[in-house]
Amino acid sequence: MKRLEQLLIRSRAAARSARTRLPGAAAAMRPSRLVLRLNDLRLAPGLVRATGEPMGAAEWQSVIVRFIQWLGPVRVTIAGGEPARSPLLDELVRFANRLECPTHLVTGGGIDPARAELLVDRGLGAVTILVGGVDEGTHRAAVGSTLADATGSLDALRDARARRGRPLGLYVGVPLTAENVASVGAVGGWARQAGADGVLATLPLGEEVPPGAAEAVAALGRDNLTPEHLKAWLEGRQVRVRGGLRAEILSDGTLLVSSHVAPLGDVRRGDIPAIWAAADEPLRAVLAHPRPWDEVELVPRALVSSR
């Protein structure tokens, strides 16, 4: 029964994604996934940041419930500069999963074995660990954390998955910089040896495409999950934005559809569907933008909740 319910949920999500590509008023274009940005660490200049008081666990939970009441269960990505270090992470994973929302964590690391086992038990669906290089200096410049944080987290999550016998997708994302393009292939090789299920390149929002980026992505070889839209961008081509619209919540309750355009409103002080329905101009700007969000949140393509 649970599998049938999840197939129905994915079908509804696919329909929402298709609707977001159609022209029309904001009220007719709903988001197909939810992104929770727990902090703004290492966010590029010029992108929208949180400026108010951070929300607590109960407020985050209320936001998730209100989105589900509007959209039904949706995929939830938990991101930000270092979300794994947030005390909110474990509870948000547990809460979203109990409401049939599959969860995806994007992080630079900082997950020890005990935390890894807790996250696996609470139903985390997938983790993308950001690795910027195979040496400390290159990695730290690209990601901001230590290489040991990243490699140790992958080891801890891989072992916890095996011990608990639960499904968990493990991926390595390589943020592209001018300094690391020559070593991207080596990161891919290490990731496969370490037990990752796939590798992808990512380009942080607001960053210029470094020379040699397209060749670096090709060097990832097999298990290369880099989305086609990003590959095209790195090659200087523009294609239709993939993945449907998404709703992003900042730590202070600000609602975004993209960090490139003006906020839609504050979810703590307004009705979420009404805020969205009044956002014709930001949504038009996003649909016209060649790269409105980081493609790392689109991998893996399929994700279901598990309890």
Q: What is the pLDDT of residues 152-209, one digit of tens each?
A: 999 999 999 999 998 999 999 999 999 999 999 999 999 999 999 999 999 999 999 9
Query: Which strands sit side by side in the sheet containing 265-266, from one edge to the other?
Result: 198-202, 169-175, 126-130, 103-107, 75-79, 33-37, 247-249, 254-256, 265-266
State pLDDT tens for residues 92-140: 999 999 999 999 999 999 999 999 999 999 999 999 999 999 999 999 9
User: What value does the mean pLDDT take over residues 56-85?
Assistant: 94
CB 74 within 8 A of CB 32: yes
Query: Higher-confidence residue: 42 or 146?
Result: 146
Q: How far apart are CA 123 and CA 164, in angstroms?
A: 11
User: What value does the mean pLDDT take over residues 221-237?
Assistant: 92
pLDDT at 14 over 70: no
Q: What is the pLDDT of residue 28?
A: 82
Q: What is the pLDDT of residue 7?
A: 41
User: What value does the mean pLDDT take over residues 16-33?
Assistant: 64
With bands split at pLDDT 50, 70 and 90, how would you rate the model's confidence at 254?
very high
Phi, psi for residue 54 in degrees, rounded to 5: -65, 145
Q: Considering the entire predicted model, what is its pTM? A: 0.90
Mean pLDDT of the chain: 90
Q: At what angle do helices 89-98 and 113-121 cross, to 10 degrees?
A: 20
